[in-house]
Amino acid sequence: MIKINIQKQLHGSNGLMNLNVNLEIKQGEFVALAGLSGSGKTTLLRILAGLEEASGIIKINNSIWLDEKFSLSPQKREIGFVFQDYALFPNYTVLENLLYVNKDIELANHLLKITELSELKNRLPQTLSGGQKQRISLCRALMNRPKILLMDEPLSALDPSMRTKLQNEILTLHKEFNTTTIMVSHDPSEIYRLSNRMVVLNNGQIIKDTTPKEALLKTNGSAKFSFEGELLDIIKVDVIYVAIITIGQQLVEVVIGNEEAKNLKIGDIINVSTKAFAPMVKQ
């Protein structure tokens, strides 16, 4: 069990902001941390890793990492950290990057195998793709069998298909190692796929702490398709108007009426829904 009850005054974009987080996380949970830019997500991870000071308490099972008189050094906190920008050692090969953390060659080879990197283990990071580098970073974070795995938007720099591939690998690793994980993410499908709990920060405070299902699904079982997207364009085709809407990575064309065409503005966030009681679902 991880107990976090920390406070820190931050300089937010609208003046001072109190980061005030009180959370209990069970062993093996996968927590997605979401919230607007500047809400304090990265700072919270850095405080957990001991990279930033804060007041309050951090307790992992029976060991105290932070209290009013003491702060355990970052090196002694058993944490794996995966950053958005990989943070690999450029002069070390893939394998050396892993062994730097811990000399357990068996574990290193096992992790490289799960993430399909075995063939690349003698290469230097700069000769690899973004997805490959992020997999190394993930493997390296697990090399010391951390008590907590912290990931700060680890997949946001990758293209959609690489993201999906890495999400699957993260799931496989989580199943095998059962590492308590906190991952910052803005991507609803990623949060839904990976996490079992979603915590949303706003202005340094937790405003939502629930299951991804509860937080992300809006239809609540009614037989309706409902998508939110951004209006990119309205095209007139003969006598009808077609709205071009981007939903996730997809472009969707929807016929709209004259009134809607007049009232909608390019850039509006709009909801597209339809009653569909027997939709066709194909592979």
Q: Hunting for tokens 């996490």 — which residue is that?
A: 195
The window from 30-38, 62-70, 156-164, 170-178 that contacts ligand ATP (CB under 6 A) reads: 30-38
Joined together, the tokens standing for residue 158 give 């990758």
In the stretch 37-76, what mask flags binding to ligand ATP with x, by CB under 6 A? xxxxxxx--------x------------------------
Q: Hunting for tokens 């809400």 — which residue is that?
A: 39
User: Using an 8 Å Cβ cutoff, are 10 and 38 in contact?
Assistant: no
In the stretch 115-154, what mask flags binding to ligand ATP with x, by CB under 6 A? ----------------------------------------
Q: How far is the CB of 45 from ligand ATP (least distance, A)?
A: 8
Q: How far is the CB of 132 from ligand ATP (least distance, A)?
A: 24
Q: Report the alpha-carbon distance of residue 27 to residue 180 in Å, rounded.
A: 5
**Identity of the residue, 18 or 172, whose beta carbon is nearer to ligand ATP in the bound complex:** 18
* 14: contact with ligand ATP by CB under 6 A: no
**Identity of the residue, 13 or 122, whose beta carbon is nearer to ligand ATP in the bound complex:** 13
The window from 5-13, 107-115, 138-146, 233-241 that contacts ligand ATP (CB under 6 A) reads: 5-13
209 three-state secondary structure: strand
* 83: contact with ligand ATP by CB under 6 A: no
Q: How far is the CB of 84 from ligand ATP (least distance, A)?
A: 9
170 three-state secondary structure: helix
Q: Report the alpha-carbon distance of residue 141 to residue 15 in Å, rounded.
A: 35
**Identity of the residue, 45 or 108, whose beta carbon is nearer to ligand ATP in the bound complex:** 45
Q: How far is the CB of 150 from ligand ATP (least distance, A)?
A: 12
Q: Report the alpha-carbon distance of residue 44 to residue 257 in Å, rounded.
A: 47
* 16: contact with ligand ATP by CB under 6 A: no
**Identity of the residue, 108 or 149, whose beta carbon is nearer to ligand ATP in the bound complex:** 149
Joined together, the tokens standing for residue 142 give 């697990």
**Identity of the residue, 12 or 130, whose beta carbon is nearer to ligand ATP in the bound complex:** 12
Q: What is the DSSP letter of 16?
A: E
User: Using an 8 Å Cβ cutoff, are 121 and 95 in contact?
Assistant: yes
Do β-strands 55-60 and 2-12 pair in parallel, antiparallel, or remain unpaired? antiparallel
User: Using an 8 Å Cβ cutoff, are 210 and 198 in contact?
Assistant: yes
User: Using an 8 Å Cβ cutoff, are 114 and 176 in contact?
Assistant: yes
The footprint of ligand ATP (CB under 6 A) covers: 10-13, 35, 37-43, 52
